[in-house]
Amino acid sequence: GGGAAAATPLLDYYTPQRAMAERRVERQLEEQLYEQLKGDAQIAGMSVWVDIRDPQVGEEFSTGDLGDLDSVHLDLRLQGEFADKLAFATAVRGILDQLDALGVRMDRISFTAEGNRVAYSLQVQDQFQLHMRTDLLEKQVVVHGGSVDEVD
C-alpha cells in the first residue's frame, strides 16, 4: 500500500501528455533559436531539452506557458578554430546577447568547441553569467586537450 501511494505522484508526473508537450516546446524553442541565431556562422549545432514540472499540461502548452519551475537547457556547439580562451569567450558573449533578446529563461546554456589542438567549454547557469563581461567569461572557460600556455 505504501509503495502504491508513493508511486501515484510519479505516475501523475510522467504522462504521455507531458512528454508530448515537452517535445512540442523543444521544437518551438529550436525554431525560435534557429531564427535568432541562423546568421551566426560559428554555430555548428544545438540541442534543446525541456523539463515541464506541471503534471496537468494540456495539448495547447507552448513556450509562453513555461513557468518558474520548468527547466530549459541549451547546448550549442561552435565550429572553427579559436586562438585562445578570450576568442572563445568573445564568441560566446555575442551569442548570449542574441539569446537574451529572445526573452526565454534558460536554466543552463552549454557552449563547446572542438578544434584541431584543443577544445573549449563553458556553462552559463545564472543571470550573473548570462550578463557577464567577456573578460570575466574568459576566466570561466575550460580548455580540454592542451595546456592554456600552448594556445595563449
pLDDT score at 112:
97
Cα(26)–Cα(9) distance, integer angstroms: 24
The residues facing 124 across adjacent strands are 109
Nine cell digits for residue 55: 503534471
Radius of gyration of the chain (CA): 19
Nine cell digits for residue 43: 554555430
Give me the phi and psi of 102, to 5 degrees please: -70, -30
What's the pTM? 0.82
Q: What is the pLDDT along the chain (152 residues), one digit of tens a residue?
A: 665 555 455 555 567 888 888 999 999 999 999 999 998 889 999 999 999 987 677 778 888 888 888 899 999 999 988 999 999 999 999 999 999 888 888 899 999 999 888 999 999 998 888 899 999 999 999 999 865 444 44
Closest CA to 89 of 140, 148, 146, 150: 140
Which residue type, as a one-letter code, is found at position 88?
F
Q: In the block, which residue shows the cell 509503495?
A: 3
Which residue type, as a one-letter code, is found at position 80?
G
The angle at the Cα of 123, spanning 55 to 14, to the nearest 5 degrees, equals 15
pLDDT score at 113:
96
